[in-house]
A = this chain, B = another copy of it.
Amino acid sequence: MADAGGIAADRLKSFIERIERLEEEKAAIGSDVKEVYAEAKSSGFDTKIMRQIVRLRKMEAHDREEQEQLLDLYKQAIGL
């Protein structure tokens, strides 16, 4: 089915199949991540806080500190 209505069918199919394989791999890793969080939860850790830690660790230390200082300042200003 080299061509269907002006569409290079074989090329389209190969792109779609490559994407599907990658999406499958990505989904498998996604469930691995869920498993680690489940394991941590059953060990007594709070997964919501763990997700914040993962997010904070992605930031540059300098940016993280600046953000935390500004948040404290805003919290004070708002009376939080």
Contact = CB atoms under 8 A, between A and B. Distances in A.
Interface residues of A, number: 50
A39 B53 contact: no
A62 to B, nearest CB: 13
As for how many copies of this chain the complex holds, the number is 4
B75 A15 contact: no
Interface of A: 1, 4-9, 11-13, 15-16, 18-20, 22-23, 25-26, 29-30, 32-33, 36-37, 39-40, 43, 45-46, 48-50, 52-54, 56-57, 64, 67, 70-71, 73-80
Q: What 6 A-B pairs come out closest when comparing CB atoms? A: A9-B77, A4-B77, A7-B77, A15-B40, A26-B29, A5-B73
